[in-house]
Amino acid sequence: MLSILVPVYNERDSLVELHRQVTEVCEENDLRFELIFIDDGSRDGSWEIIDGLAASDKRISGVRFRRNFGKAAALTAGMRAASGRLLMMMDADLQDDPAEIPALLAKHEEGYDVVNGWKERRLDPFGKTFPSKVFNGLVGLLTGLKLHDHNCGLKLFTADVASEIRIYGELHRFIAVLAHARGFSVAEQSVNHRERVHGHSKYGLRRFLRGLLDLLTVTFLTGYGQRPQHLLGAIGLGAFGVGFVGLFYLAVTWVLMRFGVGDLTPIGDRPLLLYSIAALLLGAQALSLGLLAELVVSYVTRDRDAYSVKERTRDRDEIADTSHPEGAVIRESLQRGPAVESRP
């Protein structure tokens, strides 16, 4: 079954039409689906529309937040409420076209765990498309996952992906990156992008800057989330080394000054002394932070696997079951144990 997650924030005017279009597409393609609306603290009466839709169609359900917690929180709540093997996220403003659902599913059938939408022909002003291109380029450069449109609201992914990634803040746009870092396969699919009919864009300079900060967070989490000391420790050792070399040079200079050799400027008047001490302190702090980060990671992740399993062979007891043609032979072999070489 397909679970379609739709975060809603003041989208009252588009919900009924979105429900109609999604239902029409899924029924035409004989798809079992559920449509989950997550009301992220709307104040325009969106919840009343969702409640009415849920009452008229058992395939519709809703989750209502007490206040606005953000899109990542809404998607997390939707993932927890979903019961499908496949999950799809979609914006509620009708710019994402439900007619693209079959194309995304077809791409998934090629063997991909995540299918990221790509608004190839984007109907947005230059002030929105240009920063987006810069942002996507930076994401590809820093994370190694090069997609045309990381921020596309139309994404399809498996329930396994949803169970292994954690999104918060603005990290919903990095679902593909987080999944890729866990070893899931990612592809992109060109999708139709429609003009906005209702509501207004929530994009702006502030959101772009937050996206850049989140990119740094994701880069750290995916690259050094399990080994922070490798990054902080490297910075610390580098700074410590620079400071040590500077102080060693000043020490040698001071000794030579005792014999009247070289530059006779007092050591205390040289900027290198301050820079070297600052480098030593920075190095010590970075190393200390790295150790503390390692302790935090070991505590936080003690119950969370640092790996991702794609598949398993049949369970040992299942293989030894006599219901299998070869079960009796294997069972006898397992009970007998490994063969021991006889020695003369």
Beta-carbon contacts of residue 176 (< 8 Å; ≥ 6 apart): 114, 116, 145, 147, 150, 155, 186
Side chain identity, residue 268: G
pLDDT digits (tens, 9 = 90+) for 69-98: 999 999 999 999 999 999 999 999 898 999
- Indicate the DSSP class of residue 315: P
> Using 50, 70 and 90 to split pLDDT, how confident is the model at 20?
very high
Q: What is the mean pLDDT of the chain?
A: 83
The overall pTM is greater than 0.75: no
pLDDT digits (tens, 9 = 90+) for 268-315: 888 999 999 999 999 999 989 888 888 877 766 656 666 678 778 765
Q: Mean pLDDT over residues 230-252, rounded? A: 91
39 has a pLDDT exceeding 60 = yes
322 has a pLDDT exceeding 70 = no
> Using 50, 70 and 90 to split pLDDT, how confident is the model at 343?
very low
Q: What is the DSSP string of 80-128?
A: HH--SSEEEE--SSS-B-GGGHHHHHHHHHTT-SEEEEE-SS--S-HHH
Q: How confident is the model at residue 97, as a pLDDT?
A: 92
Say whether 2 sits in a helix, a strand or coil: strand
Find out whether 64 and 28 touch, Cβ atoms under 8 Å. Answer: no
Q: How confident is the model at residue 344, as a pLDDT?
A: 40
Q: Mean pLDDT over residues 170-180, rounded? A: 89
Length of the chain: 344
Q: What are the angstrom distances between the C-alpha of 215 and each of 150, 238, 259, 289?
A: 11, 24, 55, 21
- CA 106/CA 191 separation, integer angstroms: 13
Domain assignments of the chain as residue spans, ordered by start: 2-224, 228-300
Least confident of 32-41, 219-228, 293-302: 293-302
Q: How confident is the model at residue 301, as a pLDDT?
A: 61
> Using 50, 70 and 90 to split pLDDT, how confident is the model at 330?
very low
Q: How confident is the model at residue 305, as a pLDDT?
A: 65
Say whether 261 sits in a helix, a strand or coil: coil
Q: What is the DSSP string of 265-307?
A: S-GGG-HHHHHHHHHHHHHHHHHHHHHHHHHHHHHHTTTS-SS
H-run or E-run covering 3: strand 2-8
**Structural tokens at position 294:** 């390692």
Cβ-in-10-Å burial (0-12, 13-18, 19+) of 188 comes to buried
Beta-carbon contacts of residue 230 (< 8 Å; ≥ 6 apart): 224
Find out whether 191 and 118 touch, Cβ atoms under 8 Å. Answer: yes
> Using 50, 70 and 90 to split pLDDT, how confident is the model at 323?
low
Q: How confident is the model at residue 124, as a pLDDT?
A: 62
- CA 96/CA 137 separation, integer angstroms: 22
pLDDT digits (tens, 9 = 90+) for 96-155: 999 999 999 999 999 999 999 998 877 666 666 777 788 888 888 888 889 988 888 899
> Using 50, 70 and 90 to split pLDDT, how confident is the model at 341?
very low
- CA 92/CA 66 separation, integer angstroms: 19
Class of domain 2-224: alpha beta
Q: How confident is the model at residue 229, as a pLDDT?
A: 84
